[in-house]
Structure 1
Amino acid sequence: MTTLVLCVDRANDIGRKTGLSTPVVGWEAVRSLVTDVGLADPEDSSVNCLLAALRTTRELRDEREDAEIAVVSGTSDSAVGADRAVARQLDDLVERYDVESAVVVIDSAEDERLVPVVESRLRVDAVDRVVVRQAHDIESTYYLLKQFLGDEELRSTILVPLGVGLLLVPLLLVQFTPAVALAGLAALMGAVLLYKGLAIDEFLSDAPDQVRDALYSGQVSVVTYAVAAGLAIVGLFLGALAIRSPGVGGGSEEVLVPSLLFVYHSVPWLALAALTASAGRLLDELIGSERVSTSYMNLPFGVVAIGLVVRGFAGFLLERQGELANLELLGRLALTPVQRLVIFIVAGVVVSVVGVRISASVSDETLDDVVDAPRENES
């Protein structure tokens, strides 16, 4: 009667890293497997689990017991599939060998969930839980800290902002209240996290090269971007002047009415800026590839449509508040606020639909050219 020393790997780390299929049976086969797993990943705890299984097998043989060692793993991505794969491998081992009992060797809580599966087929005499000793020592913490300090990117990302924040704490506490100091520190740390999380540093580092390449390549978008920036500044300036106009604000409308006036007067210029920038990008795409993608064709129409809708809603609310006069068509027909809003919404929808239709037609023509090109080459 044989005692089976069973090393269980539910996650199939051993098979995935070595490319071997399980079960692996026999002293020499498992010794060779230890070398393969160690070379693939020296830090994997499966190496210690296999060595523990070999030591247990040797101890049983030294006590004149008939012991055999085997390794089984769950060869499936799902938990149920992995358990069933281990069950099939166990059935094969029980059928091939005269096995009476088993000693299960595991290295994680996940592997321990397979013990009931083994117990349903064999008598389990013992469960050997392998725990890497270094993981519980201060040496592990020291090693991780040393590895962290050796990474220049991690140091600049975490330690530098943390150090600056700690230096600012006493200065803020001297000048302001603790609440203001903590708010300023939280704002600083939030800005740093957003700066790194949104990869703004990479964008800023690449920006000079992109601008230089754009200038040297003669792209139209360089000029249109500059014009768009100027138009955006004009729009923001006109919106700010509208807020400062006499008679704006007062009472409960101190925030709402000035905000609507800012939007109403700045949106046309901001939409024109976006339209100019998208037109320049569209020209670059047309000049560079001689065909325009659907996204670049849709963008100008989408910008105009959004501008019309936003200005319509802002004008509707301002007219209801008495800040704007009624809109007149052809200088004769005065429109109500609702009619004004409907006209702007319909205009935005029409512009958007026109853009979709034009983009679809351009895309179809481009597709036909691509399909016809091989036919012309064959002829």
Structure 2
Amino acid sequence: MTTLVICLDRTDDVGRRTGLQSPIVGWEAVRALVTDVGLADPEDSGVNSLLESLRVAQNLRDEDEETVVAVVSGERESMVSADRAVARQLDDLIAEHEPDSAVVVIDSAEDERLVPIVESRVQVDSVDRVVVRQARDIESTYYLLKQFLADEELRQTVLVPIGLTLLVFPMLATAFGPAEGAAAITTVIGLFLLYKGFNIDELVTGFAHQIKESLYTGQVSVVTYVVAAGLTFVGIFVGALGVSGLEETQSGEVLIPAAVFAFEGVPWLATAALTASAGRLLDEIIGERPVRASYLNLPFIVLAIGFVVRGFSAYFLETQGEIDPLTVPDLDLGWRSIESFQTTAGERLAVFVLIGILVSLVGVRIAASFSGTPEESTTDADRSDGGQAAEADLPDPGSESELTDGGARSVSATDDNPGNRESAESAGDDLEGPDRS
């Protein structure tokens, strides 16, 4: 079993200090390299990495394992060229020595990024990271700060709010006082944390992307959404006007203003929702795709909810004397005349609720009928295909298995056809010969 002990140097510190080209292979070559690197820069942690490679190789040799010590370095042009140089050197080492496994020795987080390259070419049994004992905490803190500053998203999320706080707080404290400044800063930080916690930025980005795609693809829903937004504002405005027209004693309550707002604004809000859902339904129809039942049922559900909310708000207002009872005008049906009459608050509520239930049932029925058509056609097609498959799977009268059975199955399968029966009997005569007689 051959184990390859590799000391990785991504930034080519060895070549820069000694002028040697990697890979450097062999016990004596690496031990001589330790002296050269140590004389060039005694404070370099690469010396410790080289010594650790030699120590690991010596321990494996004491356990009667064949080891190959090598130092692999990258290039200084770019990180991509450095990784590719390491990959080429590893391929040469593996092709020459054919190791069964490898032990990787590194001395920094930068060199640790080369470990996946080694793992993709040979089995890695161990990764030995060398950290100078006196500088363990300092180096760990340094690499953590370096990784933190290299992450653009973390910088924008943490450093930008801290910097803005340090800049704005002195101004607010000078203008309004320390307490007011601290309160304003705390409020802004709280809003920022809620903004990040609820992923509002992703929601806004997704909504903007959806609007962009809708505009580029020419969807009808873009226009209907704009119309629905306008109708929504009209409904809110009409409801607010109805509430503002109440007397001061009535406006101080909660139930009557809410009922007035619903009674005046629900028709407009329901129309807005109906317009938006109709536009989405038209997009599905124009897109030549199977229309889902939810899109077909949504306009009816919106209309049904509008009737129910309108009925309940009218019931509350009529019982309080805010609106007049519902009056049915004279009707002349030709064969019968109906005189004008007024309904009570309960009858009015029952009529609106009944209309809402009927509208929702009609929507469910229409959605079920349209969504069931593809399934029925698919079922019919499957049934027809299944019939053809069944016919295709019928046993062949001349098959070998039926001939082995003495033609009995062929005769039974062709009883309805006299010609087939005669052919089957003749086939049986040929097979059985004198035994049949």
Q: TM-score, normalised by structure 2?
A: 0.49
In the superposition, relative to structure 1, how do residues 319 and 291 fare at CA in structure 2: closer, same or farther (>3 Å)? Answer: same
Please tell me whether residue 272 in structure 1 is matched to residue 281 in structure 2: no
Deviation string, structure 1 residues 351-379 (Cα, Å, up to 9, x no partner): 22322222222211122234445678998
Aligned equivalent of 2:243: 243
Aligned equivalent of 1:159: 159
Aligned equivalent of 1:308: 307
**Letter aligned with residue 273 of structure 2:** A
Matches within 5 A, 1:7-156: 32=101, 39=115, 137=137, 139-156=139-156
Partner SS state of residue 219, structure 1: coil
Please tell me whether residue 344 in structure 1 is matched to residue 340 in structure 2: no
Residue 319 of structure 1 contacts residue 325 of structure 1 at CA under 8 Å; is this kept in 2? yes
Could you tell which deviates more after superposition, 169-178 or 354-363?
A: 169-178
Residue 271 of structure 1 contacts residue 304 of structure 1 at CA under 8 Å; is this kept in 2? yes
Query: Partners of 1:342 and 1:27 in 2: how far apart?
Result: 94
Query: Partners of 2:134 and 2:323 in 1: how far apart?
Result: 75
Q: Which of 335, 340, 347 is residue 344 of structure 2 equivalent to?
A: 335
In the superposition, relative to structure 1, how do residues 218 and 259 fare at CA in structure 2: closer, same or farther (>3 Å)? Answer: same
Query: Partners of 2:179 and 2:265 in 1: how far apart?
Result: 36
Query: Partners of 2:141 and 2:271 in 1: how far apart?
Result: 58
Aligned equivalent of 1:9: none
From the CA coordinates, give the structure whose radius of gyration is larger.
Answer: 2
Deviation string, structure 1 residues 283-302 (Cα, Å, up to 9, x no partner): 11011024211221122122
Residue 235 of structure 1 contacts residue 266 of structure 1 at CA under 8 Å; is this kept in 2? yes
Deviation of 1:223 after TM superposition, in Å, equals 1.8
Aligned equivalent of 1:115: none
Partner SS state of residue 326, structure 1: coil
Instruction: Say what the alpha-carbon RMSD is for the aligned residues.
Output: 4.3
Partner SS state of residue 292, structure 1: coil
Partner SS state of residue 289, structure 1: coil
Query: Partners of 1:332 and 1:181 in 2: how far apart?
Result: 67
In the superposition, relative to structure 1, how do residues 294 and 136 fare at CA in structure 2: closer, same or farther (>3 Å)? Answer: farther
In the superposition, relative to structure 1, how do residues 177 and 249 fare at CA in structure 2: closer, same or farther (>3 Å)? Answer: farther
Gaps of 5+ in 1: 1-25, 52-132
Aligned equivalent of 1:75: none
Aligned equivalent of 1:56: none
- Matched length: 268
Q: TM-score, normalised by structure 1?
A: 0.56
Please tell me whether residue 323 in structure 1 is matched to residue 317 in structure 2: no
Residue 134 of structure 1 contacts residue 140 of structure 1 at CA under 8 Å; is this kept in 2? no
Please tell me whether residue 263 in structure 1 is matched to residue 272 in structure 2: no
Deviation of 1:280 after TM superposition, in Å, equals 0.6
Query: Partners of 1:135 and 1:324 in 2: how far apart?
Result: 84
Query: Partners of 1:184 and 1:260 in 2: how far apart?
Result: 38
Please tell me whether residue 292 in structure 1 is matched to residue 300 in structure 2: no
Deviation of 1:314 after TM superposition, in Å, equals 2.9
In the superposition, relative to structure 1, how do residues 32 and 224 fare at CA in structure 2: closer, same or farther (>3 Å)? Answer: same
Aligned equivalent of 2:361: 353
- Flag the structure with more relative contact order, 1 or 2, with Cα contacts below 8 A and sequence separation at least 6: 1
Query: Partners of 1:374 and 1:313 in 2: how far apart?
Result: 50
Please tell me whether residue 367 in structure 1 is matched to residue 366 in structure 2: no
